[in-house]
Every structure is written in structure tokens, then in C-alpha cells.
Amino acid sequence: MAKQPQPISPLKNFFAGGFGGVCLVFVGHPLDTIKVRLQTQPKPQPGQPLLYSGTFDCFRKTLVGEGIRGLYRGMAAPIVGVTPMFAVCFFGFGLGKRLQQTKPDDVLTYPQLFAAGMLSGVFTTVIMAPGERIKCLLQIQAATGENKYSGSLDCAKQLYREAGIRGVYKGTVLTLMRDVPASGMYFMTYEWLKNILTPEGKSVSDLSAPRILFAGGLAGIFNWAVAIPPDVLKSRFQTAPAGKYPNGFRDVLRELIREEGVASLYKGFTAVMIRAFPANAACFLGFEVAMKFLNWVAPGL
């Protein structure tokens, strides 16, 4: 295993992680919109077809009906949240690594990297859960023909007015169930691939942009392979009317399996996987480029 770089400073982590997150959102949000609409589309009446027959049908109908803006609907919430979220995410990963080191130069095993990644998932949920709730509601309202919310801020205000802070944070447990194991897989896979792709005698910090893109993209694939079943449950739960699922995710899970089978837990799979590689490749490349820039302009920061 190649020697791992030392944890970065929280301030550098904030800016580099935030820039990586912005890159991820711009590249990946259109297919995230498609994913959420596929996951939450209503069950058709007997004899009626599904609203969307698949990923490409949903993409076509969204583009024709709403234009390019439809694909970026609800993006304000994740954009506003990405800088602190990814700062906390990468800081949490660095902290998780440091807590497991007995000496500053200890090289961690892959299970230890997985544990450090899981800690980052816990850290990000506080920011991620309300952003996901608002994003999902805005993404589906155009498809259902409703115009209840005029934007992200209006959505947050209405949710708070209707149910207080619990309304804004609806789906937090499911966000944790998704992000804790998925973040562990995400960072462990990225570190593993960087080590594999590092030439003998070279440092992981010297990896070329194509290799960083490849490692980041595959890390995104592995992340979503773990995350998609709880993500389906989360999307369904967060967009359901108040009181529909009194027992939380257990009710959502029972309903989905009873009515649509186990395969329903992988709704939006194609959209997720098409999105995962370029979005996460952009995220990690943005992070690495920003980190190199910060180390150049402010080495002692």
C-alpha cells in the first residue's frame, strides 16, 4: 500500500471539499433529478402505463416538458449545502483516520479506512438530510403538476411552518442508513484505487488527472452500489404525505416489497450508475486540484 498523505487542515479541507462538491452537483444533478422521479413515480391505475418507462424515457419527457431547467430543478439546496457538507465530509474522513493512528506516520489498513469513511457519513447527515428533503420535494412537484413550492427557501419555510424542525429533517435515519456504510465504501475504494494506480516509487499525490478521474468515478460506483436501496426508501419516505408511514422506513419497505417486489429497491439504478462515475470523478478531481492550489498559495495554512 502506498504511503497515505497526512490529514489536511480543516480550513483547506473546507475550501477543497466545497469546490469538489460544487463540481459533483453541476455534473450529476440532472441524473439525480431523473433518479428521484423514477423512485417516487406513483403506481399506475389498472390498465394504465407507468408515468416513466425507464431512465431515458424520464429524461426525454423532462427535457421536452420542462427544458434543461427541469433537469436542474431543486439544485439550489444541494449547491448551498455542498461547501459545508463536503468540508465536513472530508474533515470527518481525516479525523477518522487520525483517531485510528497511534503515530502520525501510521499507514491505515483498508478496514480502518472504511471505518474513517463511515464517520464522515455521520458528520454529513446533519447537513445532508434537510437538503435531500427539500431537493426531492422540488424535483417531483413539476412531474406531478403541482406548484406548492416556489423554490428551496420557500419549501424550507413551509416545511418548518407545517411540522417544525422535524418536518425539515424528515428522513434523517434513512439518510444515516444510506450514507454511513456508503461513505465507508466511497473513501476506502478511492484510497484503494489510488494506491493501485500509483506507479512504483511515486507518491499518490503525484497521480495524473485521468487516474484521479478513474479512481473517483469508480469510487462513486461502489458508493451507490451500497447506497441505492436505502436511497429509494429515503426518497419515498421524504416525499410522502405527513402520516402515511407512521412506523418510518419499515412501513416504506413493507409497502414497496408487497406491491412492487424486491426489484423496487433498485429503482433509478440506471440513472444512478450513469451519474455516479462522472459526478464523483469531477468531485475528486475538483478536490485534488483545489488542494494542490491551496498548498501552493498557502502552504502554512
Give the per-residue pLDDT at 142: 65
Share of the chain above pLDDT 90, in %: 34
Top pLDDT among 236 and 4 is at 236
Q: Decide: 171 and 126 in contact? Cβ < 8 Å.
A: no
Top pLDDT among 112 and 241 is at 112
The span from the CA of 164 to the CA of 160, in Å, is 4
Residue with cell 499507514: 107
Task: DSSP letter for 51, please.
Answer: S
Phi, psi angle pair for 268, to nearest 5°: 80, 10
In this prediction, residue 225 has a pLDDT band, given cuts at 50, 70 and 90, of very high
Domain annotation for the chain: domains and CATH numbers:
10-297 (1.50.40.10)
In this prediction, residue 194 has a pLDDT band, given cuts at 50, 70 and 90, of very high
How far are the Cα atoms of 86, 148, 156, 194, 209 from residue 284, in angstroms, in the given order?
11, 36, 30, 11, 10
Q: What is the mean pLDDT of residues 61-82?
A: 82
In this prediction, residue 126 has a pLDDT band, given cuts at 50, 70 and 90, of confident
